[in-house]
């Protein structure tokens, strides 16, 4: 049986490590999902050595001391596992305030995220002005017309997204003092009334730093852990903290970023909804990069409606980002037409080599029962040559550009400077080494060769989807988790993953829909129907209090 075509050695070690061992056949991978081996993963380091809990919580001490257990339980009954529209409904009816909403999530973060037997290490920093800003939202509530649904909702941001008031570290000690202005998408969130809750932990430098290091580890944030199997199941990466925090109800919604699988992987690994948009739908301005060719931010949420709302709240044309400018103004209000979608007559391609996965087969039957047509096809064997080199060559020029144009007052100009800083105290600054950074420095190519690498990857990735989609007139291709994220990345195709169930060891899996560029509205409608008819997501047991 063919190997999963995404599992190419170059792709496995990039911004998101794939969920499976690249040397396993699909049959072996399916079998590995049904074993009873639930031994704990051994990590070099779990807790952060850099986060000072006293400093983290000092701005909130007085307000949290007045937020009693009784009030917490009252708020929990109103908002726990609820969608943004449901939360806004109870706030509109004056049963809840935005301040109480913010305090609820702060209480959960304090309870579940650091230095106890249930800690998840999903949050790196908190917005010290959160409560003040929440009170301002309460004062503004209902006083302006057409308030966006994101108004007053706390949003957690992956810690490679520039945010004023808290450092943007990319998980690296080297950037611990990287105080910046807001990224473009953060400006958009604030313009639409969102509250910035804080920053989420991530795989350091978005999983393009160390080789063989676990998903979800950063020297700033420590080791993020999966709430469905703490120290047992992988968190996925690199947007690990974003996926984990949303899954455990430490934040209502979060923002991640993806180069190749970094939204799809942690979303599917933590039983939440993750969307990797077409490159250009959301600005990359002010986000610590890997690849200006492939990078994009995207929403991570518990429900599809929340995903559409968060996507809409970040959208806009950023004149400083060529991809954003070239994508044109997207007129769609992503959350407005979810109910108008239908699966009747829709044609989805199911990859035959995945059909031994029972959760995948069940999900396909769910789609059939909702009126969809399923066409099984053999995925073509297509290489993605020089994928790693694309990332090396992009990062080599894109990181200096970020530091110059968007970075704070830090003493680095390029990758080599960061390597040199880490080498002065590698035990604390790079406990798993920095092999991928070293690879960036060693790599080089002429502009002609670099262009050829990008063109070949784009052509090959597009062919992987375009050939079956054209031949069978498909609306989308169905995958699992981030298995085909590498192809979607280089083809610049959007993808959304939705919870489709759990293995016998309670390991979450997601059904992933991959569509043509700028088909986000259709993907969201399809995912919404699948979610509504299956309702596969369940709250992680230990985080239900």
Give the pLDDT confidence of 255-268 residue by residue, as tens digits. Answer: 999 999 999 999 99
- What mean pLDDT comes out for the span 513-519? 96
Per residue in 416-466, pLDDT (tens digit) is 999 999 999 999 999 999 999 999 999 999 999 999 999 999 999 999 999
- What mean pLDDT comes out for the span 523-535? 98
Read off the tokens for 474.
């498909």
- Does the pLDDT of residue 78 top 80, yes or no? yes
- What mean pLDDT comes out for the span 58-65? 98
Classify residue 41 by its DSSP letter.
Answer: P
Residue 340 annotated in active site: no
- Does the pLDDT of residue 36 top 50, yes or no? no
Q: Sorting pLDDT into bands at 50, 70 and 90, what band is 195? A: very high
> What is the rounded distance in angstroms from the CA atom of residue 515 to the CA atom of residue 463?
13
Per residue in 94-110, pLDDT (tens digit) is 999 999 999 999 999 99
Return the pLDDT at 327: 75
Active-site residue identified among 48, 119, 203, 238:
238
Active-site residue identified among 119, 125, 172, 262:
262
Local structure of 409: helix, strand or coil: coil
Per residue in 221-248, pLDDT (tens digit) is 999 999 999 999 999 999 999 999 999 9
- What mean pLDDT comes out for the span 59-81? 98
Residue 292 annotated in active site: no
Task: Judge contact between 306 and 252, C-beta under 8 A.
Answer: yes
Active-site residue identified among 17, 158, 492, 522:
158
Return the pLDDT at 325: 80
Return the pLDDT at 115: 85
Cα 117 versus chain centre, distance? 25
CA torsion angle 500 515 282 103 (round to 10): -10
- What mean pLDDT comes out for the span 405-421? 97
Task: Judge contact between 158 and 259, C-beta under 8 A.
Answer: no
| pTM attached to this predicted model | 0.94
Please state, in angstroms and as integers, the Cα–Cα distance from residue 69 to each residue in 104, 130, 138, following that order.
10, 20, 22
- How many residues in the chain? 545
Mean pLDDT, the chain, as a whole number? 93
Nearest to 290 by CA among 162, 391, 185, 214: 391
- Does the pLDDT of residue 6 top 90, yes or no? no
Phi, then psi, of 56 in degrees rounded to 5: -60, -40
Please state, in angstroms and as integers, the Cα–Cα distance from residue 316 to each residue in 330, 344, 391, 434, following that order.
8, 32, 26, 35
79 vs 329, higher pLDDT: 79
Return the pLDDT at 233: 98
Residue 238 annotated in active site: yes
Q: Sorting pLDDT into bands at 50, 70 and 90, what band is 35? A: very low
Return the pLDDT at 16: 52
Per residue in 489-498, pLDDT (tens digit) is 999 999 999 9
- Does the pLDDT of residue 18 top 70, yes or no? no
Please state, in angstroms and as integers, the Cα–Cα distance from residue 401 to each residue in 4, 176, 285, following that order.
35, 19, 11
Local structure of 161: helix, strand or coil: strand
Nearest to 7 by CA among 467, 464, 482: 482
- Does the pLDDT of residue 17 top 60, yes or no? no
Q: Sorting pLDDT into bands at 50, 70 and 90, what band is 331? A: low
């Amino acid at each position: 049986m063919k190997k999963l075509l995404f599992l190419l050695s170059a792709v496995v070690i990039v911004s998101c490590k794939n969920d499976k061992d690249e040397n396993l056949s699909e049959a072996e991978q399916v079998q590995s999902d049904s074993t009873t081996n639930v031994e704990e993963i051994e990590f070099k380091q779990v807790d952060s050595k850099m986060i000072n809990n006293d400093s983290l919580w000092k701005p909130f001490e007085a307000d949290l001391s007045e937020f009693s257990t009784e009030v917490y339980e009252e708020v929990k009954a109103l908002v726990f596992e609820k969608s943004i529209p449901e939360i806004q409904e109870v706030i509109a009816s004056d049963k809840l305030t935005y301040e109480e909403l913010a305090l609820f999530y702060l209480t959960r973060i304090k309870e579940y995220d650091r230095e106890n037997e249930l800690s998840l290490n999903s949050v790196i920093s908190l917005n010290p002005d959160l409560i003040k800003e929440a009170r301002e939202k309460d004062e503004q509530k209902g006083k302006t017309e057409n308030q966006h649904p994101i108004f007053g909702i706390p949003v957690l941001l992956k810690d490679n997204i520039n945010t004023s008031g808290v450092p943007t570290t990319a998980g690296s000690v080297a950037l611990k003092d990287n105080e910046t202005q807001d990224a473009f998408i953060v400006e958009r969130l604030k313009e639409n009334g969102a509250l910035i809750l804080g920053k989420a932990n991530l795989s350091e430098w978005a999983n393009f730093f160390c080789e063989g290091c676990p998903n979800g580890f950063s020297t700033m944030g420590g080791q993020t852990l999966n709430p469905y199997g703490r120290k047992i199941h992988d968190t996925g990466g690199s947007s690990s903290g974003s996926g984990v925090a949303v899954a455990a109800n430490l934040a209502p919604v979060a923002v991640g970023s993806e180069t190749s699988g970094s939204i799809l992987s942690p979303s599917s690994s933590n039983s939440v909804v993750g969307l990797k948009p077409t490159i250009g739908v959301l600005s990359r301005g002010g986000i610590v990069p890997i690849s200006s060719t492939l990078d994009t931010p995207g929403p991570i949420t518990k429900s599809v409606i929340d995903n559409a709302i968060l996507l809409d709240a970040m959208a806009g044309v950023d004149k400083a980002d060529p991809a954003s400018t070239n994508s044109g103004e997207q007129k769609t209000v992503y959350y407005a037409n979810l109910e108008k979608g239908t699966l009747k007559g829709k044609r989805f391609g199911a990859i035959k080599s995945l059909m031994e996965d029972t959760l995948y087969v069940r999900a396909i039957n769910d789609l059939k029962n909702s009126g969809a047509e399923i066409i099984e096809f053999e995925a073509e064997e297509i290489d993605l040559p020089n994928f790693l080199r694309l990332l090396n060559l992009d990062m080599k020029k894109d990181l200096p550009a970020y530091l110059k144009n968007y970075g704070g007052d830090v003493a680095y100009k390029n990758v080599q400077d960061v390597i040199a800083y880490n080498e002065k105290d590698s035990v604390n600054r790079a406990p798993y080494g920095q092999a991928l950074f070293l690879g960036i420095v060693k790599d080089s190519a002429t502009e002609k060769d670099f262009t050829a690498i990008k063109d070949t990857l784009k052509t090959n990735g597009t062919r992987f989807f375009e050939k079956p989609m054209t031949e069978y007139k498909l609306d989308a291709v169905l995958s699992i988790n981030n298995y085909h994220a590498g192809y979607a990345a280089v083809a610049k195709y959007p993808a959304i993953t939705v919870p489709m169930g759990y293995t016998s060891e309670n390991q979450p899996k997601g059904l992933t829909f991959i569509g043509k560029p700028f088909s986000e509205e259709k993907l969201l409608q399809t995912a919404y129907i699948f979610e509504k008819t299956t309702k596969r997501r369940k709250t992680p047991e230990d985080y239900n209090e």
